[in-house]
Structure 1
Amino acid sequence: MVEQPTQSDPQADAAVLEDAAVPEVVSWLRVQDPHGERMAKVFRETFDQIYDGQRTGRYRLDQLFKTEKTHFGTLIEINLQREFKFEDGDLLDFSILGMEIDCKYSHSGQWMIPVEAFEQLLLVAKADDAKTQWSVGVVRATAAHRRVSENRDRKTSLNPDGRAAVQWVFRDHPMQPNALLQLPRELVDHVMGQPSGQKRLNELFRVAQNLRLSNNIIATVAQQKDYMKRVRSNGGSRSALKPEGIIILSGDYNAQRSLAGALGAVIPEPGEVVSVTVVPAESAFEGVPIGDGVWRLARLGEEPTTAAPAVR
């Protein structure tokens, strides 16, 4: 008996293609950004962009206007496209591997899906600046993945099955921390309440020791165009805090990064600084050579009695 060829089912073939599209896009994105560094940069820069800290002194989401919070998703979409050079879609935001894909951002993970994105691929994203985490994933907005209810604009969201179907490019991945969100609110209020940019920076370096402080944090606290000048010696924070035993180490210099590691302090990345208090070490075995002396990190509650050494 001759076996008859089976008839192709167009709907079944389409379903197979749809199922294959999601992991295909996920794999492509991972090739473009194997460790998530590029996406992490986009999220960090977008938070900093919307805060506009140098001009406003803002550093957290609840300080933004409602329209600014809404605009955040648009900025993420724009900045991701700039970073990865996504092609424009004909119907939706992007075209990746020749496939239309809509970019959706939500701080809470409740992505709103418009009618034109039904049955289409979604690039879903969320981020939490306080937790220094972000996530990006891909899912198809099929009827089985969408809620039945819709709002007045006929927008809906993913149902539990849809959220479970998201294939994550990166999930809860780290980004550069916002040091002002790692400090108690009253301490930040105290810093920001100082009467000048220089005094605010000096106080920041006193109270936020052994934390990575980005250039953007420096700009937010100083609120001046020449904010990095306020960090340096010759009248900046390094000079002002030297009598208190405080040194400020820059991640832009390998020697200072190495010194931070040798001291056992947090190591600043490029574009960051870390402030720490040091005291003379009791012996060469307990400290690190700096200048003509040997120094170690001050212990909790230990008051320095000697000015800090000059750091090069």
Structure 2
Amino acid sequence: MLPFEEADIQAAKSVALRSMAALPDPELDQVYEHVKALDPTGRRFAAVLRDTIDQLLNGEVTGRYDWKTLFKTEKTHAGTLVEINLQREFRFADGDAMDYQIVGIDVDCKYSQQFGGWMIPPEAVGHLCLLAWADDYRSRWSIGLVRIRGEWLNTGNNRDLKLTIKAAHRDKIHWLWRNEPLPENVLLHMDAADRNAVLAAGSGQQRLNELFRRVQRRRIGRNVVRTVAQQKDYMKRVRGNGGSRSALRPEGILIMGDYASHRMIAGRLGLPLPEEGEFVSARVTPSGPQHGDSPRVSLDGKEWVLAQPDDLVVPAPALPSHTRGD
């Protein structure tokens, strides 16, 4: 044997690995382009990840809003649910050896709530892997594609022989979306004193009223409403005719939903636009000279602006009538 130094051997291996990583991968490119075309903005992926976390929390039944309160078995089940829900959303075909077939190519799917924690099984080596990550505490998510190579995996004693990708090789991941905003879990992120006041407010209707009173100018998702109300008819509790909209109108608070007319009002007031199943509440007041060039909207024959803390409380105008096709 030639007297090569260990450092020389390792350097040669490093060069070989870099060369291998740099080789074209037409299958990866095809899957990447196809998935990107299915969801150019990433909105559908974000919704699936948000809904899957909410599905695990099951707030309507359990009242939970925090990932840390899940049982160990539920956290373990998260990856399977992400895999199922992505397949349902994008109608990926079943794979032969892996989870999916995308444009005729086998692709495995792995989810981790901890970035870099994807557990790769031995049978995935050589295959493409769709890596998903979502962190409810940071309100961020990522989706990427990588061709799994054995030399890029950590060694370990996992009883299923599953291994993680070495940190030094995460740069081999081709990110479709990286560190994107995850729809916010408002209950998790709101001020603790406000959250305690909401949850202690009594009936489901009273809790929802307190939620929209205390959490203004932020998008509030359907699952937060469901968790706070803990009632089957939770959406009815938001609407007028006895719901939070009519209860909070005397306090000057508007609750805008995902209807086009409501989104237009929110936009003109400079508020976040409610997406499907979301609401945004805000206290408004008639426009006066003191409001300068603040964003405004015309309702009930008056110009309205977002109220400042020192503005007098004035009953809010009625929101325009709408239909689901609005």
Match of 2:105 in 1: 99
Match of 1:4 in 2: none
1: CA distance, partners of 2:93 / 2:236: 40
What SS does the corresponding residue of 1:157 show, helix, strand or coil?
Answer: coil
1:232 partnered with 2:276: no
Contact residue 131 and residue 145 of structure 2 kept, 8 A: yes
Q: Structure 1's 33 and 289: CA in aligned 2 closer, same or farther, altered over 3 A? A: closer
**Aligned residue runs from structure 1 range 189-200, under 5 A:** 189-200=196-207
Identity of aligned residues (%): 47
What SS does the corresponding residue of 1:113 show, helix, strand or coil?
Answer: coil
- Structure 2 residues not aligned, in runs of 5+: 1-19, 321-326
1: CA distance, partners of 2:170 / 2:34: 21
2: CA distance, partners of 1:152 / 1:288: 61
Please list the CA deviations of residues 125-178 of structure 1 after superposition, one character each: whole Å capped at 9, or x if unmatched. Answer: 111123332111111221221123342332211112431211111111233322
1:307 partnered with 2:326: no
TM-score of the superposed pair, with normalisation by structure 1: 0.87
Match of 1:81 in 2: 87
1:19 partnered with 2:25: yes
What SS does the corresponding residue of 2:264 show, helix, strand or coil?
Answer: helix
1: CA distance, partners of 2:299 / 2:37: 43
Q: Structure 1's 38 and 305: CA in aligned 2 closer, same or farther, altered over 3 A? A: closer
Match of 1:293 in 2: 302
1:149 partnered with 2:156: yes
Please list the CA deviations of residues 234-272 of structure 1 after superposition, one character each: whole Å capped at 9, or x if unmatched. Answer: 2221222122111111222x2222222222222222322
Q: Structure 1's 245 and 68: CA in aligned 2 closer, same or farther, altered over 3 A? A: same
What SS does the corresponding residue of 1:199 show, helix, strand or coil?
Answer: helix
Q: Structure 1's 90 and 276: CA in aligned 2 closer, same or farther, altered over 3 A? A: same
Q: Structure 1's 236 and 168: CA in aligned 2 closer, same or farther, altered over 3 A? A: same
TM-score of the superposed pair, with normalisation by structure 2: 0.84
Match of 1:6 in 2: none
> RMSD of the alignment, in Å?
2.3
Match of 2:276 in 1: 270
What SS does the corresponding residue of 1:251 show, helix, strand or coil?
Answer: coil
Match of 1:125 in 2: 132
- Structure 1 residues not aligned, in runs of 5+: 1-13
2: CA distance, partners of 1:69 / 1:202: 32
2: CA distance, partners of 1:45 / 1:27: 25
Q: In structure 2, which of residues 176, 200, 208 is the aligned counterpart of residue 201 of structure 1?
A: 208
Deviation at 1:28, TM superposition (A): 2.0
1: CA distance, partners of 2:305 / 2:223: 29
Q: In structure 1, which of residues 125, 139, 150 is the aligned counterpart of residue 146 of structure 2?
A: 139
Q: Structure 1's 310 and 91: CA in aligned 2 closer, same or farther, altered over 3 A? A: same
Amino acid at match of 2:180: H
Match of 1:216 in 2: 223
